[in-house]
Amino acid sequence: MKGVLFDLDGVIADTSIYHFQAWRKLIKDHFSLNLPNELEQQTKGVSRADSLKAILNFLNINVSKEQFEQLAAEKNQTYQKLLNNLTPKDILPGIQKLINDFKSHDVKLSLASASLNAPLILEKLDLRQDFDAIANPNEVKLGKPAPDIFLQAAKEIDVQPKDCVGIEDSIAGINAINSAGSLSIGVGEKEELNKAKLLFPTTADLNYSQIEMAWEQASAKLDNFE
């Protein structure tokens, strides 16, 4: 195991809640509608534009290209306001220890977030210096569930995807890691993240030794197969 590809929202900090709050406010303000909870998982890990498409599609709302751009920008403004108060105290339980464990085992850290706000968030959490690379979602063709952002994140630390593990809280993200050929580690519920190769209920349960063991087992299986 030479690299770890981290998702950000919902794994490193609880910002996925803020994303959905911002979408809720946008739809309420513009269309006087309440967004159902089921849309939260559908928009997790998915780019800003794809999330808005999914929401409008679900609500059967058509908008012009200009209005679409304006709605996406307004959502981001609300989201950034919610990020204002973010401090290192908002790092989710267990994450700092896990980061330290990866670093002390010489595993390189790369960020594979779909969020264009990721560099800002890492700065606010005082974690920027812990990461060897941040993959830029603007530089990849397809968003999650396509593997592109994870492949890019691995490339930026000069590690083969098969020598990496990826950590995710979304269904789209787990599918992306599996397609990239890295070992997928889910944080969340079994019913939702059933395609994760290793699953922890919460970030506080994440455990370096278990991750390393799972990676060793998976790579031994691959070697036997070859």
Tokens of 42: 């559908």
DSSP state of 60: T
- Contact present, 48 and 80 (Cβ < 8 Å): no
Identify the CA nearest to 170 among candidates 148, 152, 151, 145. 145
Contact of residue 41 among Mg ion, ligand BG6, none (CB under 5-8 Å per partner type): none
Choices 27-35, 38-46, 57-65, 89-97 (CB under 6 A): range interacting with ligand BG6: 38-46
Residue closest to ligand BG6 when measured from CB atoms: 115
Least CB distance from residue 170 to Mg ion, whole Å? 5
- With CB under 6 A as the contact rule, the residue among 3, 35, 43, 167 that binds ligand BG6 is 43
Question: Alpha-carbon distance 96 to 29, whole Å?
Answer: 37
Helix (H, G, I), strand (E, B) or coil at 189: coil
Residues 137-166 that bind Mg ion (CB under 5 A): none
Least CB distance from residue 122 to ligand BG6, whole Å? 12
- With CB under 6 A as the contact rule, the residue among 41, 78, 110, 113 that binds ligand BG6 is 113
Identify the CA nearest to 108 among candidates 225, 2, 224, 207. 2
Residues 90-109 that bind ligand BG6 (CB under 6 A): none
- Give the largest CA-CA distance in the chain: 58
Question: Alpha-carbon distance 173 to 196, whole Å?
Answer: 10
- With CB under 6 A as the contact rule, the residue among 1, 3, 4, 9 that binds ligand BG6 is 9
User: Rule CB under 6 A: which residues touch ligand BG6?
Assistant: 8-9, 16, 19, 43-48, 51, 76, 113-117
Q: Could you list the active site residues?
A: 7, 9
